[in-house]
Structure 1
Amino acid sequence: MLSLRQLKALAVLTGCIVAACLVPLAGAHAQASAPKTPAGAANAAGGDAALIARGEYLARAGDCVACHTLPAGKVFGGGRPMDTPFGTLFTPNISSDKETGIGKWTAEQFYTMMHTGKSNDGSLLYPAMPYTSYTKVTRADSDAIYAYLLATPPVKQPNRPHELRFPFNKRQLLIGWRTLFFRQGEYEPDPKQSAEWNRGAYLVEGLGHCSMCHTAINALGGNVTSKEFEGGLIPLQNWYAPSLTSNKEAGLGDWSIEDIVGLLHAGVSNRGAVYGPMAEVVYNSLQYLTEEDVRAMAVYLKALPARSGDKPAPPSAAVAEQRSSLAPLGKKVYDAECAVCHAAQGQGKLPHFPPLANNQSIEMDSAVNPIRMVLNGGYPPGTKKNPMPYGMPPFAQSLSDVEVAAVVTYIRTAWGNHGAPVTVKEVNELRSAPLY
């Protein structure tokens, strides 16, 4: 029987490695494109071309390339390090190589891994592999992904053993975690909903594994079902994945389906743009999905029930005083550095420069993302629908912590925005945060 202390220790580890898996490192754009199936591979893989093409599409939906490929490395060769406070995990080789990859696996073994979180030798996988979501993938889709992986070029690259300190290197600890947080089973369509809604739910909850970032990790390192999609800070990454159920954050209740599709498919829409970890997801995965599938995801996301209040609380006297003290300097910085792109009243200049007025991502309870954008800048992903994105320059070298705190406070409270002021301490803590 595992002690509560052991469970909590493992929980911190699993929470960290889940985030490490989901958020690729900077530079992934240079190598993230999955390989095209070589001619004649259908026969070599024991499958037909249509099945392999479908598997490639589904592997895109699952964003497999992001974790299983080193930057500038051979695709699906594994070996990607995932640093945690307890050591380093290395992702496995999932290429078709028979010695170091999955070339000798059977379709049954591959499905068991996806469905149960157990490797072909029966060992338990750390939940950096999102099997808690992949368990919902159907056997037919699993078989297609398997056929595709076996049809890709073999990469002879031995798997590196994890470098975890005791007791985190003991996989037996995962038994307790799985009992608490893993519910095995394929997705069951809801007969009360449309086929489009169900398709969106299958992609969002299964291959997309969206809840793993957009649901906070609790004290034991698991996602709480009752708080699903309510947002949370991604461990070790210092990016906030916003709530998809609250219109104060990224709730989509008042978005049009077209704007949601634009954001997911192109990385930009009339309501905003994606940066940071979500930009990687759009670049590696979502841009390659069909319009119909992305629309289905949008329909499902828009229908998520609101679980948290959307009315802003009135500011306290201390908050009002802090806002008043920072706002004048913030406006001065904004007029000098930001207005040329985002316009004098924060209305933006569409389609390239998103509005800051009435922008949910600016007003969220967590100010992590706007602070990081001012400090580090960034680009939306280059996609088929937006191949030459406009970006935002970094201001970490030109603005002091006080100036960054002031301008972020200003944009969070001006033009009808209802965000809270940010402190100089918050800015200083994020100044040295890793980019991804």
Structure 2
Amino acid sequence: MTDLRALLIRPLPTLALAACLTSALACDTGGSSNDDGAAATGDEGWDGGYLLSSVIITDVGRTTYFSVVRELDGHLDNANAIEVPGNAVYLVSGNAVLVGMAEAPTWVKWEISETGALTQVGEMSLAAYGLAAIDFGNTLVDETTAVSVSSDSLLAIVWDPSTMTITGTVDLAHLHVDGYDLENWTTTTGPDGLVYIPGRWADWNAGSIYPEVSMTIVDPKALELVGVATDDRCASGGRAVFGADGHAYVLGDGRNYSAQMFENAGAAPAADNCVLRIPAGATDFDPDYAFTIPELTGGLEAITELETAEQGSGVGFVKIFHPDELPADVEPVDFAFWDHNAHQLWRIELGDAPSMKPVAGAPMSAVGFPGVATRGLLYLGESEDMGANSTVYEVDPTTNEMSPAFTMDGYFYGVHALP
């Protein structure tokens, strides 16, 4: 039985892509098929489509698969997919896929043709900045600006994906906390063009989550640190989600309920998870704004970080832990409870008076990989057979409904609409 908990201690990126990345030759995906066997690529040419990725985990390691598919429908298999050991991170800019390698400090640029073929057109190394691999905190600002955050070198590295050249760096030395490991994997670009870097710290050996929410704001064009917002009303905030009002909302989720889990096991009391916000144009959390998740849900607690189908919409999503759904012999005192279907996706309307309610059609599920937003929808994968197959659900924020969209081989790892 594959244990997802070990993966989620340090979450994997939302999309893996690989194949022929060390080769100077062009690499064609060869297509991906659905129920009727129709190839996704070929000589006929077609517009749009999707990058789709899955991961299969065994006792000896993990393998990532990447396909270009026409539509998100039926069962999407890995028969014609690219197969790679390990995992990588990605950014998409137009018809270019930028792949951050997990086993080398290298970004590789691929162009996607109108037939779905991939051709390697450039690469860029970050080895000079002390990286052994590309870290998880990356964001695309625009077609000439991207940011890669290193939790080891404590740098925000700004680079140009159009030319695959490095622009400069911003020092993040303030993110060092003695005795704790840093995580910043949901780095996000705001509507203001600034980059919002969450700081999360955990000491997994001692069972401790650092009791603070931290958000570092960087101007990637000016190569400047704009501000560092911190708050101790709850712990370990993740992704910034922006409202129509321009405010940046942050959920302190106790690093995915871990602080509360450690409390259940006998550690020091943990604060309730809570929603905070940084007002538009500000660099500090609003001291008069804080809402705990239990007060918004009637006593239930959040177990994942805040997600959204579209930045600027003011609509977020988060999985809520329902302890009554656990088997009688399972208690939330270690990560084993994550594997059980005791969690449900809820919607949160962000604003001056936030409100929460379950997403219609959302099943009780395990805690797994994060969702992926594309074309105004949020996609989440759920697997009932430990990753042999997944059902991928589509969440429509306009109707607040969640429904099965397609099935696929392996764990759902990511999807991105192509232009």
**Same fold judged by TM-score > 0.5?**
no
Normalised by the size of structure 2, how large is the TM-score? Answer: 0.29
Q: Which has the higher contact order (CA 8 A, sep 6+)?
A: 1
Hey, which of these two has a bigger chunk of strand by percent? Answer: 2
Normalised by the size of structure 1, how large is the TM-score? Answer: 0.29
Structure index of larger Rg:
1
